[in-house]
Structure 1
Amino acid sequence: MSARAPSSILMILGSCMSLQLGAVIAIPLLAQFGAGLTTGARLLISGLLLLALHRPRAFGWDRDTWKAVLLFGFAMAGMNGFFYAAIARIPLGIAVTIEFAGPLLLSAALSRRRRDLGWVLAAAAAIAVLGFGEHGGGGGGDRLDPVGVGYALIAAAFWAFYIAAGKRVTTRMPGQGSLAIGILIGAFVVAPFGVGAVGDLAATVPAVLIPLVGMALLSSLIPYSLEFVAMRRMSPRIFGVLLCLEPVVAGAAGWLLLGQTLTWVHVFAMLVVVVSAVTVTVSQPAPPAHALPGRRGAASAGRAGPGGLPQHLG
């Protein structure tokens, strides 16, 4: 790594922490307004901020480009909406860990190596323990909300879809303009699911405006800004390894800031997923020079997940 590597590592860790702080802010908003309105508000504010920063010339896009961006926005809506629905019901660290199954499975499928498949099966077993095991301190906790676990699994599927859609967008359009438009499309896709809570939001706008903007900044603008700089300074492999620590950061944030407790079994299962993700990432072949971060054509619409693939907003 270059001499700037330590600062780049701090940027990635700062991005992970920013994302989880945004999720911590979102949880009380979810209890008040539901996943639909909270997700829609976050995407709308984030999209407008990014639109003002990058000012994409969307009117010049052809039909195929618009189709790719529409799919990207739809994937983003499903990934964020179901993730927020999940963290409203189950602990943050567990939700992030379960959601990690999406990019991990996709990375292993693309590699087509038995060794990677073995790590995916290990992660799947750990996720099954998280989903069906007991939760709470001691040994007599309650089982996790199965609906919340189901939402996290659906979010994982949308995360994998988002990776594929994001890759297609960035090969057609380098830069971040498509990200702004995709986020706004995602906001409009989610909007109908939050219509019922619009009255509650309107009645409390002055009080909740700061949390809403803070959620958008911490969950999108700040982490993306940090990661795009870091991506230009380090290899996709190292970038992906660092982002595999996200379930650990999420678990710590849930414990420290939300008082969410985890059993030792859950902690061990989360570590198995992290180790699996790191191993699959490290085992990927090095990309050609023209695909390194900062070069034209490098993935830039999302975060780099296991194997250096674009990751997600959540």
Structure 2
Amino acid sequence: MMLASGMANQVGAGVGALAFPVLGPLGVVAVRQWVAGIVLLAVGRPSLRSLTWWQWRPVLGLAVVYATMNLSLYAAIDRVGLGLAVTLEFLGPLAVALAPARRLLDGACAVVVGVAVLVLTRPKLTTDYLGIALALIAAASWAGYILLNRVVGARVPGVRGSAAAAGTSALFYVAAGVPVLIEARPSLVVLGCAAVAGVLSSAVPLLFDLLALRRVPARFFGVFMSVNPVLAALVGLVVLHEPLAWLDWLAIAAVVTANAVSLVTVRPSAQVAPPRPTCRAGR
């Protein structure tokens, strides 16, 4: 289930990217957010009127972060490719994991990640610095998403808070997304690609992650999350025909390894169960 969740997340992002030539990142993200919002509202069925302002505040913050994370990530994918964009985005949850650490080993892992990122973003004639900046915005948004999701989970029972955030986030894209669709006049195939991104990158990971967390320790789940940059690079290669240099593959492996080492060596009593995500890709 964890492998299916990660693969669905990255395949959804890859399929959504196929609609970029017609809809652009904004149009694809708008359709994805609408589909994800409808699905998650149907699953979570939150009673919006029953939520207090104390509960709504983190929900609205999560909705803003959710919308920012997806748009910046998809814009980065459009400019620098799926593998690099997801690897840089993964710095967000890695920073959340390493920030409170006080061990020398965690410091060494952070240094390894820093070197790997320098390798991935090394200046070249074709380096797209705006794309890199957008991926880093997605990373910061994912970090905020993790922290806010914990607050929402504590204040709103079940998945109702995440569903409310997804539905609110979908509303943010009405004003910007509708004009894009009217101007682009996409075919059903193009709309289908964007809709698939909403289902595979949001609904499927949510369901499978919830089921997996009931069967495996949080420690193992956290380690397995680090496979996402590798899956993204593979999907980028197969679906989007985005090859990477061998040095880029080594850098991605370094980021994954540093994350896994940091998580595996944490004492069980110091671990915190990961929040239940509402989206990926991206995760």
Given the two structures, how large is their TM-score scaled by the length of structure 2?
0.92
Higher RCO (CA-CA < 8 Å; seq separation 6+): 2
- The Cα of 1:34 is off from its aligned counterpart by 2.1
Give distance in 2, aligned partners of 1:270 and 1:55: 39
Q: Map residues 70-85 of structure 1 onto 2, 5 A cutoff.
A: 70-85=60-75
Could you give the per-residue CA deviations for residues 28-75 of structure 1, whole angstroms, max 9, x where no partner exists? 222322222221211111111111122111211111100010001111
Give distance in 2, aligned partners of 1:268 and 1:225: 32
Amino acid corresponding to residue 211 of structure 1 in structure 2: C
Q: Is the 8 A contact 2:2 2:224 kept in 1?
A: yes
Q: Is the 8 A contact 1:126 1:272 kept in 2?
A: yes
Could you give the per-residue CA deviations for residues 168-188 of structure 1, whole angstroms, max 9, x where no partner exists? 101112311111111122223
Amino acid corresponding to residue 276 of structure 2 in structure 1: S
Amino acid corresponding to residue 73 of structure 1 in structure 2: A
Q: Map residues 26-175 of structure 1 onto 2, 5 A cutoff.
A: 26-134=16-124, 142-175=125-158
Q: Alpha carbons of 1:52 and 1:302: their partners in 2 closer, same or farther (altered >3 Å)?
A: closer
Aligned match for 2:254, one of 272, 288, 298: 272
Q: Is the 8 A contact 1:166 1:302 kept in 2?
A: no
Could you give the per-residue CA deviations for residues 101-154 of structure 1, whole angstroms, max 9, x where no partner exists? 1111111112233321221121022112111254xxxxxxx5331111110011
Q: Map residues 143-292 of structure 1 onto 2, 5 A cutoff.
A: 143-194=126-177, 196-201=179-184, 203-204=185-186, 206-287=188-269
Q: Which stretch of structure 1 is more off in the superposition, 75-84 or 109-118? A: 109-118
Q: Is the 8 A contact 1:50 1:180 kept in 2?
A: yes
Give distance in 2, aligned partners of 1:43 and 1:253: 21
Q: Is the 8 A contact 1:36 1:191 kept in 2?
A: no
RMSD of the TM alignment (CA)?
A: 2.1
Give distance in 1, aligned partners of 2:65 and 2:136: 14
Q: Is the 8 A contact 1:87 1:95 kept in 2?
A: yes
Give distance in 2, aligned partners of 1:288 and 1:84: 34
Q: Is the 8 A contact 1:175 1:300 kept in 2?
A: no
Q: Is the 8 A contact 2:22 2:190 kept in 1?
A: no
Q: How many residue pairs were aligned?
A: 283
Pairing 1:25–2:15 present:
yes
Task: Name the counterpart of 1:13.
Answer: 3
Q: Alpha carbons of 1:75 and 1:226: their partners in 2 closer, same or farther (altered >3 Å)?
A: same
| 3-state secondary structure, aligned to 2:19 | helix
- The Cα of 1:166 is off from its aligned counterpart by 0.6
Amino acid corresponding to residue 167 of structure 2 in structure 1: L
Pairing 1:299–2:275 present:
yes
Q: Is the 8 A contact 1:46 1:183 kept in 2?
A: yes
Q: Is the 8 A contact 2:73 2:282 kept in 1?
A: no
Give distance in 2, aligned partners of 1:92 and 1:313: 10
Give distance in 2, aligned partners of 1:144 and 1:268: 18
- The Cα of 1:209 is off from its aligned counterpart by 3.2
Amino acid corresponding to residue 259 of structure 2 in structure 1: A
Give distance in 1, aligned partners of 2:172 and 2:211: 30
Given the two structures, how large is their TM-score scaled by the length of structure 1?
0.84
Task: Name the counterpart of 1:5.
Answer: none
- The Cα of 1:190 is off from its aligned counterpart by 4.1
Taking only the aligned residue pairs, the percentage that are identical comes to 31
Give distance in 2, aligned partners of 1:91 and 1:312: 12
Give distance in 1, aligned partners of 2:81 and 2:29: 18
Q: Structure 2: 5+ residue runs without aligned partners? A: none
Q: Alpha carbons of 1:313 and 1:181: their partners in 2 closer, same or farther (altered >3 Å)?
A: farther
Amino acid corresponding to residue 80 of structure 1 in structure 2: N
- The Cα of 1:273 is off from its aligned counterpart by 0.4
